[in-house]
Amino acid sequence: MSPPANPGKTGHWLPVLAMGAALACTVFLVHFPALNAKALLFDDEQYLTKNILVQQPGWASARRFLAEIFKPSTVGGYYQPLTMISLMLDYPLASGPTDVRPFHRTSLIFHALNTVLLFLLLRWLFSGPAQDGRRPGPAILWPAAFVALLFGIHPLTVEPIPWVGERKTLLATLFALISLIWYVRWVRSTRWTAMAGSLVAFVLALLSKPTVTPLPLLLVLLDIWPLRRFSRRSLFEKIPFLVIAALSAVITFVSQARSAAVHLPQDYGPGRIPLVLAHNIVFYLYKIVWPHDLSTHYPYPDPLTLSHPMILAGAIGTVLLMVILAVSLRWTRAAAISWLFFFIAILPTMQIVGFSNVIASDKYAYFPSLGICLFVAWLLSRMWSISDRSTRLRRIAITLVVLLIAAAEARATRGYLEKWRTTESFYRHMISLAPQAAPLYNDLAADAARRGLHDTAALRFRQAIHLDPENGWFRSNYGAVLFEQGKLNEAAAEYREALRLNPELADAANNLGLVLARQGNLDEAETFFRQSLSKKNEVPDTHNNLAALLLLKGKNEEAAASAAEAVRLNPHHAEAQFNLGLARARQGQLDEALSRFDEAVRLRPDYIDALIGRADVFTMRQDWDRAEEAYRAVLRLRPDHESARRGRDRALARRAATTQSSQ
């Protein structure tokens, strides 16, 4: 007997729930080492370690993430507020910005949920009316579970879990799967609540990562096969999805262009796009079938012409694939539609519009691989449902093959996760696969600098510059290490060269200002601080640096304005609170000055300058008792602090004189 059109009404949910729980547990166990991964990658500074909004959980940060639509201030790139809010909610569970275990735990939960949702989607898609138009389709509980298992533990799914910044891939896929499931429910039930649920989930997916923008086209493909309901009416149903997708595409392009970089097709030669597409079509299929030598950095082949073996293989492989798919249409739509699903889903990341320095990335295949899963699920369900004398033996054979593949995948996944133990170990792994990739040496150097290994960092930065001497960002980073080593003249030279190569580098201008201020060149330092802010205005450190400089120059009113802006952007910035307090004290606004010094001390209880500032305010008020106690608080931390000792003695003398005079 054929199953009913709506499997949700069968009442047999216990096996489905048990299968879903088993899938989630298996995925969690295989990927468990991800919880111990400590590698910090390319953009994790923006997403976590230096993101002041993520590190200040609350409604104010959430509002900023949601309101900064066309130019996100803390993350360069497209609009992704739900991802940022998700990371912000995890931050209180961490012991600090480098404690990434809570973030990995949440990401692993999302991946397990995605695996279960894929299982449910496949079951719903292939448990309804016929997929081939000839007979009712079989219920495919086991085939759907097999495919979901192979997806969930595949090595290609590793990258979004231990990479903090790739929470967006997992979250967008979660909502996209929910949208697809609600859509299938709408097809089975024609309830408008299901259609509304699909639309809402699509919006949430776009707010997580806009690479799921092609979802309306994917729904059209599902209407063609396996739902077999393609018509003018079914196209009309997609209008709300298309309107939302178009709006998201505009926002994505504008926000990416304003806060990062975008290269349009006309910026390259006419042959580039087909060569990149051909390379990636074969590259991703190869990595799915044989996930070996995985990395987060696949550089462009050089030269990007047919003379390169990888480009030539991609071109030949793409032509053969098109021929095979065309021939397959004589028997079934499954292969062609599944492939189109994968291709359309991955198209936004195929570098037609350039936004990255890599030609491909594992994470880009995470959601699009659903297309491959469709074909495999269809194939297994056909094999599973054939009724003849060898049905039992065939099902046992299918199960054994799937388990063998799953075991191989699990081993490869565990092996790949081992590379993620530390930042250094993972970058060394990537460099072993791409020894000429300058960005990898730059990031490896940055990790050494974070750990205080300045000599090692300097060596790695020089390697990066040797491989890419025209990269201003590398020179700016090298200048920062030279600054830490006290080599101010050399640091200034690197910063100036960085700005010559790329005048948009706000960090280089800010850091050059710091060097010049340290050298006593206050006027030129002010020029570079202001230049930095003209390029990137939402940086509290730069506003604070300018405020400190203006205080040195006696421009107290301007200093107060700059410090106030730094405090607005980051109320937890102790130095900015102190500088604002110092400016207010010089302006005679002692009450506000005291409140700012108090806040600075609350943020940093050992902040000597702020403690001295408090004591000086009491002295200016001639509140000798509180002044004495404030100076004593300094001396308890720094018994050798001469200024505090003199202040305490002065307060004691004035108090004694006041007492004697009153008598």
Phi/psi zone of residue 293: left (φ > 0), alpha (ψ -120 to 50 degrees), beta? left
Arithmetic mean of pLDDT, 574-591:
96
pLDDT higher than threshold 90 for residue 300: yes
Q: Identify the pLDDT of residue 262.
A: 80
Phi/psi zone of residue 99: left (φ > 0), alpha (ψ -120 to 50 degrees), beta? beta
Instruction: Spell out the residues 6+ positions from residue 148 whose beta carbon is closer than 8 angstroms to its own.
Output: 23, 115, 116, 118, 119, 122, 373
Return mean pLDDT, the chain.
Answer: 93
Outline where DSSP puts E strands in 213-252: none
Residue 87 and residue 82: Cα distance in Å, rounded?
9
Instruction: Look at 599 and 261; give whichever has higher pLDDT.
Output: 599
Arithmetic mean of pLDDT, 79-84:
97
CB burial readout 649-660, b (16+ within 10 A) else e: eebeeebeeeee
Instruction: Spell out the residues 6+ positions from residue 333 whose beta carbon is closer than 8 angstroms to its own.
Output: 224, 225
pLDDT higher than threshold 60 for residue 354: yes
Q: Identify the pLDDT of residue 193.
A: 95
Residue 146 and residue 402: Cα distance in Å, rounded?
7
Q: What does the pLDDT look like over 90-134, one tens digit per residue?
A: 999 999 888 999 999 999 999 999 999 999 999 999 875 444 433
Do 607 and 619 touch, CB atoms closer than 8 A?
Answer: no
pLDDT higher than threshold 90 for residue 176: yes
In one letter, which amino acid is 164? V
pLDDT band at residue 1, thresholds of 50, 70 and 90?
Answer: very low
Q: Identify the pLDDT of residue 214.
A: 98
pLDDT band at residue 662, thresholds of 50, 70 and 90?
Answer: low
Distances (CA, A) of 498 to 450, 461, 475, 504, 506: 21, 13, 5, 10, 10
pLDDT higher than threshold 50 for residue 2: no
Q: Identify the pLDDT of residue 175.
A: 98
Q: What does the pLDDT look like over 135-155, one tens digit per residue?
A: 334 458 999 999 999 999 999
Q: What does the pLDDT look like over 421-472, one tens digit per residue?
A: 999 999 999 999 999 999 999 999 999 999 999 999 999 999 999 999 999 9
| Count of beta carbons in the 10 Å neighbourhood of residue 485 | 14
Instruction: Spell out the residues 6+ positions from residue 429 whose beta carbon is closer than 8 angstroms to its own.
Output: 295, 419
pLDDT higher than threshold 90 for residue 73: no
Arithmetic mean of pLDDT, 577-590:
96
User: Residue 43 has which token pair?
Assistant: 């953009």
| Count of beta carbons in the 10 Å neighbourhood of residue 328 | 15
Distances (CA, A) of 364 to 172, 220, 255, 437: 12, 21, 20, 20
Residue 514 and residue 492: Cα distance in Å, rounded?
9
Widest Cα–Cα separation across the chain: 116
User: Residue 253 has which token pair?
Assistant: 């392009």
Residue 28 and residue 213: Cα distance in Å, rounded?
29
